[in-house]
Every structure is written in structure tokens, then in C-alpha cells.
Amino acid sequence: MYGYLCAMKNLRHSTLPQLEELMQEIGEPRFRAIQVYEWIWKKFAGDIQDMTNLSKSLREKLSANYFIPKVKTHHSQYSSDGTIKNRLQLHDDYFIESVLIPTDKRFTACVSSQVGCSLSCKFCATGYLPRKRNLDYDEIVDEVVLLNEQSQKHYGKNLTNIVFMGMGEPLLNYKNVLQAIDKITSPDSLGMSPRRITVSTAGIAKMITQLGDDEVRFKLAISLHAATDAKRNEIMPINETNNLRALIVALNHFYKKTGNEITFEYILFKDFNDSLEDADDLVKVYRQVPADLVNIIEYNPIENARFQKPEDDKVAQFMQYLESKNVNAHLRRSRGKDIDAACGQLANVDKAEA
């Protein structure tokens, strides 16, 4: 099936002007292009044959050369805390995972941007997987649509927030991530506010600078996890080519250009980055960047990784030190741990069995 689809064109990659040109070429009125475009981006049709206000002959003409590579839910897991993890199947039979995280006031979609990841962070399950490919922008939009439908079904609410904190490094799939956000925020599609979208990065300085130059409107989260180059190099190989000085310069440029909210994410690892000296190093980095918040995150153990979660009193001391230095810090409790849906635990990419 995949071999057959390779010869076909993705209809969702056609712009409205391109669809108008296509209609002219196949002898159809121009307004048909608008109808097709609305089926794709308003109604999120999964098949050309679903476009019921098009004539049968037009649907057959389109189906001869085009297809819609709709992302499908393979299966879902339900946590005792209400979190839902989804294994999603792509048209080429790779898998990704995405998570719906409900709270009293928020319904957040945690979406993936790549199949696997190339950064090899030592504490992250995805980091132990090879990067197979980037997601196309329409596949990312599909993730959001599926999670929005799931939120409506289970909680009677639309999504309120989207975080690019699933599988992959979003800034190494820069074009598709920005195109997906453009569609998600467009009034002609989902119409979500960009202020409710957060893109998380391990720290690709050049691309953070580019985000500033592109004057994006969404929020930025930095997966810091260590506040010295020596420790960050040990757990995040990306730091060897994107050190803290380069990251600080890029973040200041981003804020100067956009004024958008910046958050630091800092997972606590027992006897590695949880001492008061580590807290002081974090304070020093925080003071060099116009960051709004530091999220202190409890570690979620995974296979292969040597790290452990610190004791509660050690976490409390760390938080108290940050507070004493006037750092706006929040202790974030992980959701969905019982179904391996928490921070750093997403890991499915293997192709479906034939």
C-alpha cells in the first residue's frame, strides 16, 4: 500500500492557488478549489471520497493522482489521573505518540514533531531511538485534530493548549512545525491563539535566533536540565555545539524580537543536578535571560537510563533555595506515569507489522 501511495501526491500540500490552477486544468469551476480546501482544513476529511458536495467525477479525477495521508489512532491508554496516551499510525506505517493532558482548567495536547529523535539525551526514552523522519506539517495538524476530538469526547471540552513536547526536536523540523502552527492558528482552520502554543527545544541556538527573526507569536520552552556546560554536555550532547553562552545570546535575541514568554524546564536527577550548588548555577543562568518561569520537573525513570528521582526533602530544599533568590519557580508533577505518558517516556516508532 505504501509503495502505491509513494506515486501519489499529497492533496493537503496544495495551496489554495494551486488548487484553483488544478481545477482549471481538469475543467472544473474555480469555486471547487475553495470547497476542496475547506474539506481539507476545516472539516479535516480523511479521504477524497468523503468530500460529498463534490461530484463523483471530480472525486474520481482527484483520486487518480492525489491522496490524503491521514494520521490514525492505533490505540489509546488511559491513566488513573485522566491522561490519555495515543499511539498514532502514519501513512508509511511508522508510529508516533501523543498525549492528552486534562486538568481542571486546561486541556493540553502534547504533540510529536519527529519519528524518533537524533539528539540522544540520556534521560529521555525517545533519545534512545533513531530519528526515522520528520513529520509533515499536515501530520502534526492531524495530531492536534485527533486530540481535540478526544478531549471533546471524554471531557466535553476543546483543547485549550498545545505543547510541542512529544517525540523529536521541533527546531530540527523547523519549516513543518511553523507551517503546522500557521494552520492551527489560522481562522480558516482550527483558529487557536498562538499564545496557547508552546514549542519546547533542547537548545538549537541558531534556530532560536531564527524564531526571533521570524517574529513568531508562540511561547518557547528550553529543556535546560543542567546549568553548567560540563553537566549539560554529559546528559545532552547537543550542548557540545550549542553551549550555554550561545543559548543565552539566542534567547535574549528571541525575546528582544518577539517579547514572547520563555520558560526553563529543569528535571531533577538524584545526586547529579539537585544540590544547592546546582540550584545556584541555575539562578545564574536564569538571571541572564528574560525568562518568565522555571519549571522544576520530577524525573520519570526509563529503561537504559542510570538516573533516579531525588528524595522529597532534597526537592523541597532545591525549591526553597530558588524561592530565596526570587526565582519564579514551579514544581511540576508529572501526569500519566502509570501508562508511560509522562515527560521523557514516549518511545514508539517501530513500523506496523504487515
246 membership: H or E segment, kind and range: helix 244-258
Burial of 64 (0-12, 13-18, 19+ CB in 10 A): exposed
Catalytic residue among 110, 117, 121, 343: 343
Same fold, 2-67 and 72-339: no
For the stretch 188-220, pLDDT in tens is 999 999 999 999 999 999 999 999 999 999 999
Average pLDDT score over residue span 306-334: 93
For the stretch 95-141, pLDDT in tens is 999 999 999 899 999 999 999 999 988 888 887 888 999 999 999 99
Catalytic residue among 20, 28, 97, 139: 97
Q: What letter would DSSP give residue 62? A: H
Whether 121 sits among the annotated catalytic residues: the reply is no
Whether 343 sits among the annotated catalytic residues: the reply is yes
pLDDT of residue 120: 87
Task: Give the closest residue to 154 by CA, choosing from 197, 109, 100.
Answer: 100
Architecture of domain 72-339: Alpha-Beta Barrel (3.20)
Domain boundaries of the chain, sorted by first residue: 2-67, 72-339
pLDDT of residue 270: 94
pLDDT of residue 2: 47
Task: Identify the CATH number of the domain defined by range 2-67.
Answer: 1.10.150.530
pLDDT of residue 216: 98
